[in-house]
Structure 1
Amino acid sequence: MKYITRAAFSIRIPKLLWDSVESYCLKKNKQKSAISKLTPSLVFEETGRKLLKLRPHLPLKPNRRVTRPNTKAEYEKEFEFYRTSLYVNIELVEALLQLYNEIAQEQFSQEVGEVEMSTTLPCTVFFYFCKENNLKYGQRFFDDVYFEKKYTYPDEEILMAIYRLEQKLGKSITRTEWEKYRREINAPSLQTVIRRYGSFSRAKELARLSVEKKKEI
């Protein structure tokens, strides 16, 4: 019999999502037919094994960051987060991370970085559990379009800002120039741009391609 290594790892997920999973476990444990105690950790493992077989897409973009000025407090108020820990099979977690890192690269057009073990992964697993059992999961939290529109700079807005600044200066802009002029055009920081696209050079390339595609339409 293979020895299963379990360990605790910290997670940070929307409280509504956690409450739905925890309430489900409590309800099941009250039933007389319950043989063993159901916990969120067991839910994570059982659902995670299903996801390895089914390979469903990510329900939210990894590494989302609030970047619009003066909206972080509003975001934290709208989506209250809960910090806790899960005690689960480490090999299962590693397999899920590998799976969803591959899916993330296939699903999203630009570099999104690695799937976060503490947020995106547990959100994904519990999202599919709640969907399967008709539980509340907070649909708006998983709406990337809503998130980007309200709490961050959409791709189209960032790329157009880069293109327009290059047109204004009449050349390919440098990092220093972006930081110097970005506030005048209400654009995100250099760090935000690099985090979104991997490099500033890649962002400038995408900005030019985006405009060229629009001209072709």
Structure 2
Amino acid sequence: MEESLHMSKIHGTPSQEVDDVWEQIKPLYTLLHAYVRRRLREAYGPERISRSAPLPAHVLGDMWGQSWSGIVPLTLPYPGKTLVDVTPEMIQQGYTPLSVFQLAEEFFVSMNMSAMPPDFWQLSVLEQPPERHIHCQPSAWDFCNKHDYRIKMCAHADQKDLVTAHHEMAHVQYFLAYRNLPKVFRDGANPALVQLVG
């Protein structure tokens, strides 16, 4: 796609901006969706995967169709080729759990989103505390006071946690964007949309 998604090229109301961005990415989305549909039809047969009906969520890799990582073996364009793993480079460059989150913050700030507030860095748990064991399921938290947002995650300096750190910090970006709205408007409009955040 030659046309840039830079905001400077987008004018009008917020809904018009969303429509404009969608029109720019729709051709790529359509091609990717068609590719996935074809590969699923090859794997499951035309009687289970229609040429035109919506794709059944349960064949996309999880029951809700939120993560398509489970269908990578079916859709990988170059089977047998090794996927890129940045973990060795992260280790060589001396990444730590803290620097993984600092990199995620840089990513969001580079798109003109908010930097994390001071409480985030002071109160988040970004790695397993040495003095006690905690349950480490990654999660993002909004304490609904307009300044206290946290992530609880026992991160490691590897590619998997690099992706997860960006995902969890994207939740915090939502919290920051919604902080001045009444509580009823702070949750995502649809749980499926919230899962697309990372």
Report the TM-score range of the alignment, normalised by the length of the smaller protein. under 0.3
Greater relative contact order: 1 or 2 (C-alpha under 8 angstroms, separation 6 or more)? 1
Task: Tell which structure's C-alpha radius of gyration is larger.
Answer: 1
| Structure with the bigger percentage of helix | 1
Scaled by the length of structure 1, the TM-score of the pair is: 0.24
Scaled by the length of structure 2, the TM-score of the pair is: 0.25
| Structure with the bigger percentage of strand | 1
